[in-house]
């Protein structure tokens, strides 16, 4: 089977809620990383065959196929199309998969994959509520099939994070210790400039602004739970934020034709589903599936990026997989660095690639929990 190579990967710095990137149109956020990607690789934009971008809550400035809009906003050739993917939090990881599949099938040679999200301007779950004006309270109410299968219980990620903590015996202190470690690792990474090479600045804005400098367990203990009677707080949850990411995926023929130097290849990829009410547990069966499929174990994986939607998600995954947390999210995760929904998959892939190179790691694994009880998993091999 033909190979799919990662030639380059870039991301914006992550902007905190109502922070530096809040006023930037999503199309301009996406255009910025696309232009940086092409500048770094020197690829003729006329040779790009598609732009596959992830975006959630695709309404308002994120509607109308934001992948296509980002490309055009970058001033690039009109003959290059774009398509927008919504696999919830895993949208841009799925964009990478679709781009790689296009290359591995022999249909395409050069594809831009990534994602964009401005959560400051379009709030999380805005699309879930947009139907209320037309008589639909949410995406599930009114479906006979859904009600027969799952009843009328609440489908909510905070509830899911609480359910996971209860099922896997994870305490608030467990989550706060994990959240503090994520923040501490991210603080070191940001202040030491470890992310500088992977970031495409937006104007003068060049560093993640989401890290809570000087955080402590004492401060975290004062936070109120998001749900009354619960244990999940903002300190153990991913941050609402803004950002964009982009990767160039190429075939062997494109690498040769454009004199490119690939940095990694897609070793394996999968996507699996799990209980949509628990919602956030699918990284567990998805990781098991890809390891079984490849004949690998986590001992073969040098670094892992698993999205920190909530601390309980990662801790439950680590318990089930008996994972070594010392090689998981080594530069911090979404608790500290934010989770701009549609862009996060590309951000994780970008950070993972750079860290694999910094440490000389051969294999890196990326996975994310996603709405609907789904999870993508990708194994990258550094070249």
Task: Cite the active site residues.
Answer: 89, 339, 369
The helix or strand, by DSSP H or E, that contains position 40, with its residue range, turns out to be helix 26-41
Angle at 306 between CA 304 and CA 311, to 5 degrees: 125
In whole angstroms, what is the distance from residue 49 CA to residue 105 CA? 14
Question: Which residues neighbour 98 within 8 Å (Cβ) at sequence distance 6 or greater?
Answer: 52, 85, 113
- The CA-atom distances, in angstroms, between 291 and each of 184, 295, 314, 320 are 30, 6, 17, 14
User: Helix (H, G, I), strand (E, B), or coil: what is residue 310?
Assistant: strand
User: Helix (H, G, I), strand (E, B), or coil: what is residue 15?
Assistant: strand
The helix or strand, by DSSP H or E, that contains position 382, with its residue range, turns out to be strand 374-382
The helix or strand, by DSSP H or E, that contains position 242, with its residue range, turns out to be strand 241-250
């Amino acid at each position: 089977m033909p190979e799919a190579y990662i030639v380059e990967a870039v991301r914006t710095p992550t902007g905190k809620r109502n922070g530096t990137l809040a006023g930037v149109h999503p199309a301009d956020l996406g255009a910025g990383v696309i232009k940086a990607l092409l500048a770094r690789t020197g690829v003729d934009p006329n040779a790009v065959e598609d732009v596959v971008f992830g975006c959630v809550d695709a309404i308002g400035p994120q509607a109308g196929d934001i992948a296509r809009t980002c490309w055009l906003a970058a001033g690039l050739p009109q003959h290059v199309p774009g398509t927008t993917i919504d696999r919830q939090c895993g949208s841009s990881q799925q964009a990478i998969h679709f781009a790689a599949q296009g290359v591995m099938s022999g249909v395409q040679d050069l594809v831009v994959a990534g994602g964009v999200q401005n959560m400051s301007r379009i709030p999380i779950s805005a699309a879930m509520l947009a139907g209320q004006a037309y008589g639909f309270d949410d995406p599930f109410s009114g479906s006979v099939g859904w009600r027969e299968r799952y009843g009328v219980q609440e489908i909510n990620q905070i509830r899911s994070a609480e359910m996971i903590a209860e099922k896997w015996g994870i305490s608030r202190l467990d989550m706060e210790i994990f959240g503090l470690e994520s923040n501490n690792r991210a603080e070191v990474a940001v202040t030491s400039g470890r992310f500088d090479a992977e970031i495409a600045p937006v104007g003068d804005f060049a560093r993640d602004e989401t890290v809570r400098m000087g955080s402590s367990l004492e401060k975290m203990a004062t936070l109120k739970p998001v749900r009354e009677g619960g244990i999940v707080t903002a300190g153990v949850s991913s941050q609402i934020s803004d950002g964009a990411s982009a990767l160039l995926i190429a075939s062997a023929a494109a690498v040769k034709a454009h004199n490119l130097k690939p940095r990694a290849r897609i070793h394996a990829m999968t996507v699996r589903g799990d209980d949509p009410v628990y919602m956030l547990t699918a990284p567990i069966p998805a990781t098991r599936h890809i390891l079984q499929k490849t004949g690998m174990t986590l001992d073969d994986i040098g670094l892992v990026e698993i999205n920190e939607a909530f601390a309980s998600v990662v801790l439950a995954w680590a318990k089930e997989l008996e994972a070594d947390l010392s090689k998981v999210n080594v530069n911090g995760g979404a608790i500290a660095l934010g989770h701009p929904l549609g862009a996060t998959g590309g951000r994780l892939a970008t950070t993972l690639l750079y860290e694999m190179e910094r440490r000389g790691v051969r294999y890196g694994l990326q996975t994310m929990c996603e709405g609907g009880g789904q999870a993508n998993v990708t194994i990258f091999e550094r070249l």
